[in-house]
């Protein structure tokens, strides 16, 4: 079976030019040739304005079709261009995955008056005030859409909380009062801040039956309208996990097991990830936050980081079948809320650690591949990523043997399938080193070279199938047959 690779097809600082869907459609053949089989598209819905990355979501039923929030197109283009990009990706054998933002709604059309209490930012269960009235931005009418596709209006009672009182012009975290109101049960959301139901804007109340019905109505319309092949679920640690389990169960029952779903559960704690996967019946995968955090720590610490621990606490180690592994993404890039950008010197090794191993579905970040421009500029890693993607597509198969036995130098081998060529991967965070690894007696006497070109020498495989494979200081090498043939 061919290795699958996911590509995150955006970064935070893309230009607000409405041309991104067109660029992705044009890039589809090239991405497919590199082994990209799934692509995570940015949020396609009308948000607070044309410059919104998409997480300040306003109208899920507007994909860049209606004049709302000062624009017809979204940051990325029009609805027609979105559909054309999806078609181009599918024509090239790439499954498009939609970024779905269900936690909140932003930029309401009107204010409404309702009763709230203010709660503490660091303890959402601590009430700071007596009940009082505010004017909150909670009435969504979508007048530019004129009831096309769906006629539902949103009111204050469809939300659990909001963050701004227009009457007093004061920001805070306001818990909406009323029958059956309140945050989600603390067992169903992340326990940071005691109860992390509320994240931002007007927070959806998944206890309200009209909210649940509207989400189901939207999902049916959206999947059938676009032909999308799956969802990336934003901010799931803030969303009632009981709703999420049932929603994804119903979606996969309706659209089949090949409708791929993964969620952003931004919590690096091992027990929290175990618990969330259990509560949601392993119905969808999670991004491997802990592995990213380990990469970040390794890049910062350099030779002081113990590479033997690089997989400790990760989904890749504990739940490899449920892990979406990544190096960086739009939230971790410089200047963003979760900024934890992996150091440039360590990125090639980090990508080798996700692309050339069995565990997880690896995700390549647009910003790492194409580079990032502007104030938070970053160079492109396309040259090294192209080589790693070639190795993943053609060579990274078969039995995996780890040599994670040195704090500053680790490696592993993949022995191939059906006499396919093996690879030996070695990385160092300190001095130039070598590691003795086994690639098989069948390759005795064969010359191996570094596919990445970091080393110019060759390695001869000994009669017993073993060899000493070198690596440069603070570098990574992938050793394979010098005279390579098609797999």
> Which residues touch 442 (CB under 8 Å, ≥6 apart)?
419, 465
Residues 263, 283, 358, CA angle at the centre, nearest 5°? Answer: 75
Which helix (H) or strand (E) is 274 found in, with range? Answer: helix 270-279
- 234 flagged as catalytic: yes
The catalytically annotated residue of 99, 118, 264, 450 is 264
End-to-end Cα distance, the chain: 13
CA distance linking residue 67 with residue 46, whole number of Å: 10
* Alpha-helical runs (H) found in 330-471: 347-355, 366-370, 382-394
- Partners of residue 449 on adjacent β-strands: 458, 480
CA distance linking residue 21 with residue 95, whole number of Å: 15
145's tokens: 């859409």
- Partners of residue 45 on adjacent β-strands: none
Q: How many CB atoms lie within 10 A of CB 321?
A: 10
Q: Is 205 annotated as a binding residue?
A: yes
The catalytically annotated residue of 81, 99, 165, 234 is 234
Pairing of the two strands 285-287 and 323-326:
parallel
DSSP state of 380: -
**Which of 86, 115, 244 shows the shortest CA–CA distance to 177?**
115
> Which residues touch 148 (CB under 8 Å, ≥6 apart)?
61, 66
Q: Is 238 annotated as a binding residue?
A: yes
**Which of 114, 91, 77, 102 shows the shortest CA–CA distance to 27?**
91
CA atoms within 13 A on the CB side of 222: 25
- 447 flagged as catalytic: no
Q: Is 402 annotated as a binding residue?
A: no
DSSP state of 395: T
Longest dimension (CA), the chain: 81
Contact 108, 202 (CB under 8 A): yes
Residue 366 DSSP SS3: helix
> Which residues touch 451 (CB under 8 Å, ≥6 apart)?
387, 390, 391, 423, 478, 479, 480
Residues that are catalytic: 234, 264
Binding-site residues from annotation? 103, 197, 203, 205, 238
Binding-site residues from annotation for Ca(2+)? 103, 197, 203, 205, 238
């Amino acid at each position: 079976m061919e290795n699958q690779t996911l590509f995150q097809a955006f970064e935070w600082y893309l230009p607000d030019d409405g041309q991104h869907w067109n660029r992705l459609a044009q890039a589809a053949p090239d991405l497919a040739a590199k082994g990209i089989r799934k692509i995570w598209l940015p949020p396609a819905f009308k948000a607070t304005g044309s410059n919104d990355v998409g997480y300040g979501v306003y109208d899920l039923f507007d994909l860049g079709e209606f004049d709302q929030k000062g624009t017809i197109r979204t940051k990325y283009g029009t609805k027609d261009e979105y559909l054309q990009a999806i078609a181009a990706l599918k024509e090239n054998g790439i499954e498009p995955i939609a970024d779905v933002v269900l936690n909140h709604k932003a930029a309401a059309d009107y204010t409404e008056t309702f009763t709230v209490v203010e709660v503490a930012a660091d303890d959402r269960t601590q009430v700071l005030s007596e009940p009082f009235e505010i004017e909150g931005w909670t009435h969504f009418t979508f007048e530019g859409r004129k009831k096309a596709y769906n006629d539902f209006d949103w009111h204050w009672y469809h939300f659990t909380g909001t963050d701004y009182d227009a009457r007093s012009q004061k920001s805070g975290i306001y818990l909406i009062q009323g029958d059956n109101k309140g945050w989600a049960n603390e067992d169903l959301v992340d326990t940071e801040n005691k109860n992390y139901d509320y994240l931002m804007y007007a927070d959806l109340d998944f206890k309200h039956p009209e909210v649940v019905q509207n989400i189901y109505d939207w999902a049916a319309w959206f999947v059938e309208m676009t032909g999308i092949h799956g969802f990336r679920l934003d901010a799931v640690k803030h969303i009632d996990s009981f709703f999420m389990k049932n929603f994804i169960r119903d979606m996969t029952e309706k659209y089949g097991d090949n409708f791929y779903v993964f969620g952003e559960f931004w919590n690096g704690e091992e027990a929290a990830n175990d618990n969330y996967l259990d509560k949601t019946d392993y119905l969808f995968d999670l991004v491997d936050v802990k592995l990213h955090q380990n990469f970040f720590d390794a890049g910062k610490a350099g030779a002081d980081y113990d590479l033997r621990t690089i997989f400790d606490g990760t989904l890749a180690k504990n739940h490899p079948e449920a892990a979406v592994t990544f190096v960086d993404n739009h939230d971790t890039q410089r200047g963003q809320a979760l900024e934890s950008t992996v150091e440039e010197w360590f990125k090639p090794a980090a990508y080798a650690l996700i692309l050339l191993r069995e565990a997880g579905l690896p995700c390549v970040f647009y910003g790492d591949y194409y580079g990032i421009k502007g104030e938070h500029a970053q160079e492109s890693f396309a040259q090294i990523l192209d080589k790693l993607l070639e190795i993943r597509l053609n060579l990274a198969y078969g039995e995996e043997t780890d040599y994670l036995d040195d704090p500053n130098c680790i490696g592993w081998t993949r022995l191939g399938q059906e006499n396919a060529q093996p690879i030996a991967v070695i990385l160092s965070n300190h001095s130039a080193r070598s590691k003795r690894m086994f690639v098989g007696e069948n390759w005795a006497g064969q010359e191996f070279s570094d596919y990445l070109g970091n080393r110019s020498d060759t390695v001869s495989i000994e009669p017993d199938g073993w060899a000493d494979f070198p690596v440069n200081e603070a570098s990574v090498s992938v050793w394979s047959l010098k005279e390579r043939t098609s797999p």
